[in-house]
Chains A and B, each alone.
Chain A
Amino acid sequence: MFQKSDLDELFADLEKSHGATDDYDRLLKQAHLAIALFDARRPLDDQFDSIVLELVARHQPGA
């Protein structure tokens, strides 16, 4: 399960890379949903942007 430190790092990364773009809101919403599904042991399907999938993979607990 994502801990606060994992979350802080993931969202800091997302803001740094996309915070100034028009896509930020959409990516942030997707990131929150992807984390919730990951925490619920659900697969992340192709509804998610590859940017989000990569972020989750990089910051997931134990990565």
Chain B
Amino acid sequence: MPKKVHHVVRRTGTRLEDPIIEIPVAEDIAGVPGIPQIEKDVSFYSREYPLETQNIEKAADREWSWSVYTPEVFEYRELHEKANAPFVEAAATTGDIEPTVEPVGRDITEDIRRKSYELGFGDVGFTRYDRRYAFASKKRWVKFQGAICVALEQDYAQTQSLPSLEAEYAHFGTYETENEQCLALADFIRSFGYHAQVHSPNDNSAPFLPMFVEAGMGQLGANGQLLSPHFGSRARLAIITTDAPLTYDEPVDYGVHKFCQECLVCSDRCPARAITRDKVWYRGVEKNKLIYDRCRPVMSTYEGCAVCMKVCPIQRYGMKPVMDHWVEMGEVLGKGTDNLEGFSLREKGYFGPGELPSFDRSMFEFPKGTKDEWLFAQFKEKVEDGEGPTAEETSVFLKELKEILAKGTTTIGDE
């Protein structure tokens, strides 16, 4: 017997000329628009324990990850970094560029929306930039209050081959395209006489996802990714902030928050067992928490992994068919099938539903924290050993520490 529909979400398509899509949300998975959160807790953690980019606070493992890439991934990543660098560098100073014309003095939301689709973005939304999520190193960099959230779809076919080098081409190639499109969109906004600051997806000013949720462009999935009504977890996100007059969108309840608890395929299939099955309250938000130290080494070793992205039914089949099926049959479309849940890992083979790879404990022993924290941790081990450190080890330690401090930190890298 079909479930009772609580409400129907109507969204524009991924192109201006597309028809409206209608997504039914069953009564048993209806929740709140956006995400359950306790505002005062979000504010408290932001104030007392501000977030920092992983490119700084996880710099040790970010450097280490290059040592476990396959030669093919290593070579491609180098090419990507080189190709992407000019866009990321250009984005960093966009907030300083002055418009060359006087402000038009009207709301330009619809102009920006049209231009975003023309440039190739699959979805766009508008909200206030939520400074509570800004990284400590970026708080002063963010100049303007209006946030334009743009999502670019990652290639479908390549994504289904995850984990693979082919899928990495899609992942990083999408960022390259997105950076270029964002710079073009910022130029467009300036042509109306307003400022526009590009927040590159490879030099994030914050986790962008909460602002996309606030703009109604999807909800947080159990896999930690934005589940867009158009492309599920296959959305690559960027933000442009501006002082232009905008009309903000509202958060939407697509039913994702509760649906994910019925599904949990991403949690069940995660090769690293890094996604909690139960939701927890973390920094004022209710969510399935990713365990970074389990995810990171598997992700780095196996071509970006992202099995959690691949096996999400909303990514694979689309939100509408999945929600239609839930209403009509009370089942998670694809759950328990090889089509949705099967994946292969290099040198480990194929894993169908109910099967997972195992890893040696050594897989999860990797550098933690910032580079200097990791260096200190290793040095401390030598002190605690009782036999060291030797004079030579102490000298090496000081030399390496000086090098790390001299080199400084960077916010650039994928978040």
The interface of chain A, by Cβ under 8 A from chain B, is: 1-4, 7, 24-25, 28-29, 32-33, 35-37, 39-40, 42
Contacts and interface: CB of A to CB of B under 8 A. Distances in A.
A36 B338 contact: no
Interface in B318-334: 318, 321, 325, 329, 331, 333-334
Contacts of A42: 325, 329
A32 B160 contact: yes
B337 A36 contact: yes
7 A-B pairs with the lowest CB-CB distances in the bound complex, closest first = A36-B334, A35-B339, A39-B337, A33-B317, A4-B338, A25-B156, A36-B333
Contacts of B313: 36
B157 interface: yes
B155 interface: yes
B329 A39 contact: no
Interface in B330-348: 331, 333-334, 337-340, 342
Q: Which of A1, A7, A25, A40 has the most CB of B within 10 A?
A: A40
B337 A2 contact: yes
B376 interface: no
B350 interface: yes
Interface residues of B, number: 21
A39 B156 CA distance: 21
B352 interface: yes
Contact of B325 (A1, A2, A40): A40
B316 interface: yes
Given A4-B342, A7-B339, A36 B331 contact: no
B342 A40 contact: no
B340 A36 contact: yes
Which secondary structure characterizes the binding site on chain A?
Answer: helix
Nearest to A24: B157
Nearest to A36: B334
B162 to A, nearest CB: 13
Nearest to B328: A42
A39 B340 CA distance: 11
Contacts of B316: 32, 36
Contacts of A28: 156-157, 160
A40 B331 CA distance: 9
A23 B102 CA distance: 45
B325 A32 contact: no
Contacts of A1: 337-338
A1 to B, nearest CB: 6
A3 B156 contact: no
B3 to A, nearest CB: 15
B38 to A, nearest CB: 37
A63 B192 CA distance: 61
B317 A36 contact: yes
Contacts of B160: 28, 32
Contacts of A40: 325, 329, 331, 333-334
Contacts of B338: 1-4, 7
Contacts of B339: 2, 7, 32, 35-36, 39
Contacts of A35: 337, 339
